[in-house]
């Protein structure tokens, strides 16, 4: 989730944008230069509602609005139609004749809570089988991250992870497994992006609201086969034909759980290489139990994180203009508006995850915690990383930032990023002591 107000763009921005010699296979369709297509008043965009219902889990009115998308242009649709035809032939090898497809178009679809907060923005393709024009299939575009804070989380998280001794290249190629946890689901753009970029990624997604889960599948093109049961298996015994056609195995590495994350983290036996946390409710609140150092969630989280390279990435609302020592009203003892308490959250996560020795027999390696600001929106990305690849005595701000900047170029290449990681790493970088 991102904050409503947009921060002013400075003409004197010192953010360096470096390009590598490796060209992306596609244009960044989620570039913020296209944000006018989904951001702003609805009257400006000719939007229409495709879903609306009331949540029973604190998210208020959950709705999805559709906006026209300019990319990909119509002259590129025949290539996608041919890809769908070939995929269907691969999956249904016993078919008597080729099945033809027609792309109906692309849309931005925006998930909102209470008609105000934009919780997620995804790009969706709609297509039909020519033999059954009454059935429309929606496919979320996995290579598109529209919201700047998701790009910041991906850039910072995987750059930090690659700064340890973790073998990112073999995970990308599917030669080793990467365990990923996403806390908070929204439209599902973050786990889909990771699963499509990293063949070895097995991703658990925890979402407390069943309405958000069903909305992401039926209105935002998230794979239906991903829904999982508490035992750790998919709810369906096998994917349907169109899941196989559209997702080519990606859906089998996604496990979407309806659960309270505190309950999930206490019961899971998985140890994760990287964890992404973005869990705000319909009132724009980040629950205290997700950052209180005495909460069962945070106490257990450290034991579910790899002691040698485990990395945690948290999306926070910025609060640079608010003192971390501001008094806390009794009303907010259980849930706090994050925009007022970022420093406390950062300290709690750092103390619990990289500030103490691991509970395992091996002592955890030196770790770092840092924050970066997110361009164009008022969010902060917090990263905690165990086993950061510099000597413990050299963990000063300049050396950590220099290491991250260098590694970000490798991550761009290894993951064939549609955007530069460096432009997110090098933004108001602050090492958390």
Q: Are 354 and 368 in contact (CB under 8 A)?
A: yes
Catalogue the long-range contacts made by 71-78 (C-beta closer than 8 Å, 24 or more residues apart): 71/27, 71/29, 71/34, 71/106, 72/29, 72/106, 77/103
Residue appearing with tokens 């008597």: 96
Q: Is the pLDDT of residue 96 over 90?
A: no
Closest CA to 139 of 208, 83, 218, 221: 221
User: SS3 of 86, please?
Assistant: helix
pLDDT on residue 262:
96
Q: Is the pLDDT of residue 410 over 60?
A: yes
Instruction: Return d(Cα 325, Cα 154) in angstroms, integer.
Output: 30
pLDDT on residue 45:
65
pLDDT on residue 4:
33
User: SS3 of 305, please?
Assistant: strand
Backbone angles phi, psi at 3, to 5 degrees: -70, 150
Q: Which two tokens stand for residue 305?
A: 């994180």
pLDDT on residue 286:
83
pLDDT on residue 323:
37
Closest CA to 226 of 213, 208, 215, 241: 213
Catalogue the long-range contacts made by 282-285 (C-beta closer than 8 Å, 24 or more residues apart): 282/55, 282/58, 282/59, 282/60, 282/61, 282/62, 282/113, 282/114, 282/117, 283/58, 283/60, 283/114, 283/335, 284/1, 284/3, 284/117, 284/317, 284/337, 284/338, 285/335, 285/336, 285/337, 285/338
pLDDT band at 42 (very low <50, low <70, confident <90, very high): low
pLDDT band at 364 (very low <50, low <70, confident <90, very high): low
Q: Is the pLDDT of residue 329 over 50?
A: no
Largest CA distance in the chain: 71
Mean pLDDT of 361-370: 72
> Among positive and negative, which fits the CA dihedral 423, 427, 432, 433?
positive
| Per-residue pLDDT reduced to its tens digit, 2-28 | 433 333 333 333 333 333 333 444 589
Q: Across the chain, what does the average pLDDT equal? A: 86
Residues 6+ apart with CB under 8 A from 157: 274, 276, 311, 313, 383
What is the crossing angle of helices 397-414 and 148-162, to 10°?
100
| Per-residue pLDDT reduced to its tens digit, 104-115 | 999 999 999 998
pLDDT on residue 50:
95
DSSP of 190-231, one letter per residue? Answer: HHHHHHHH-TTEEEEEEES-HHHHHHHHHTT---GGGBB-TT
Per-residue b/e over 126-148, b at no fewer than 16 CB within 10 Å?
bbbbeeeeeeebbbbbbbbbbbb
CA dist 151 → 131, 147, 419 (Å):
39, 7, 8
Q: What is 148-431's CATH topology?
A: Rossmann fold (3.40.50)
Q: Is the pLDDT of residue 401 over 70?
A: yes
pLDDT on residue 320:
44
Q: Say how many C-beta atoms besides its own lie within 10 A of residue 4's C-beta.
A: 12
CA dist 428 → 26, 344, 391 (Å):
29, 18, 23
The percentage of the chain sitting over the pLDDT mark of 90, rounded to a whole number, equals 70
Which range among 101-110, 340-349, 361-370, 371-380 shows the weakest confidence by mean pLDDT?
361-370
| Per-residue pLDDT reduced to its tens digit, 236-293 | 999 999 999 999 999 999 999 999 999 999 999 999 999 999 988 777 778 889 999 9
Q: Is the pLDDT of residue 129 over 70?
A: yes
pLDDT band at 360 (very low <50, low <70, confident <90, very high): very low
Q: Are 407 and 5 in contact (CB under 8 A)?
A: no
Instruction: Return d(Cα 225, Cα 347) in angstroms, integer.
Output: 38
Q: Are 324 and 341 in contact (CB under 8 A)?
A: yes
CA dist 25 → 103, 123, 322, 411, 413 (Å):
21, 18, 43, 15, 11
Q: Where are the domains of the chain?
A: 32-140, 148-431
Instruction: Return d(Cα 154, Cα 422) in angstroms, integer.
Output: 11
């Amino acid at each position: 989730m991102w904050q409503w107000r947009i921060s002013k763009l400075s003409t004197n921005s010192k953010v360096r944008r470096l390009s590598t010699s490796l060209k992306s296979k596609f244009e960044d369709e989620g570039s913020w230069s296209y944000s006018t297509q989904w951001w702003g008043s609805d009257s400006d965009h000719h939007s229409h509602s495709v879903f609306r219902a009331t949540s029973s889990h604190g998210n208020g009115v959950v709705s999805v609005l559709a906006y026209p998308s300019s990319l990909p242009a119509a002259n590129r649709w025949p290539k996608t139609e041919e890809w769908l035809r070939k995929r269907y032939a691969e999956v249904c090898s016993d078919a008597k004749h080729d099945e033809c497809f027609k792309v109906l178009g692309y849309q931005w679809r925006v998930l909102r809570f209470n008609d105000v907060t934009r919780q997620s923005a995804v790009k969706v393709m709609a297509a039909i089988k020519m033999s059954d024009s009454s059935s429309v299939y929606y496919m979320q575009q996995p290579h598109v991250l529209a919201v700047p804070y998701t790009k910041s989380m991906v850039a910072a998280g995987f750059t930090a992870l690659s700064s340890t001794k973790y073998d990112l290249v073999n995970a990308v190629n599917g030669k080793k497994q990467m365990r990923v946890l996403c806390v908070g689901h929204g439209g599902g753009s973050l786990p889909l992006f990771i699963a499509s970029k990293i063949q070895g990624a097995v991703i658990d997604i925890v979402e407390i609201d069943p309405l958000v889960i069903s909305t992401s599948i039926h209105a935002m093109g998230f794979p239906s086969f991903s829904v999982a049961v508490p035992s750790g298996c998919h709810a369906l015994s096998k994917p349907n034909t169109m899941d196989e056609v559209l997702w080519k195995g990606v859906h089998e590495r996604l496990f979407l759980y309806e659960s309270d994350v505190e309950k999930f983290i206490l019961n899971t036996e998985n140890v994760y290489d990287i964890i992404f946390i973005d869990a705000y409710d319909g009132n724009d609140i980040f629950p205290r139990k997700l950052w209180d150092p005495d909460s069962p969630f945070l106490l257990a989280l450290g034991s579910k994180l790899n002691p040698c390279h485990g990395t945690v990435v948290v999306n926070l609302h910025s609060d640079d203009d608010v003192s971390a020592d501001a008094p806390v009203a009794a009303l907010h003892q259980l849930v706090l508006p994050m925009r007022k308490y970022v420093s406390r959250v950062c300290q709690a996560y750092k103390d619990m995850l990289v500030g103490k020795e691991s509970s395992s027999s091996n002592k955890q390696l030196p770790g770092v915690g840092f924050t970066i600001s997110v361009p164009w929106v008022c969010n902060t990305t917090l990263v905690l990383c165990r086993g950061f690849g510099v000597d413990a005595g050299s963990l000063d701000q300049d050396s950590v930032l220099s290491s991250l900047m260098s590694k970000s170029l490798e991550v761009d290449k290894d993951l064939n990023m549609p955007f530069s990681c460096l432009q997110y790493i090098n933004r108001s970088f602050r090492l958390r002591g």
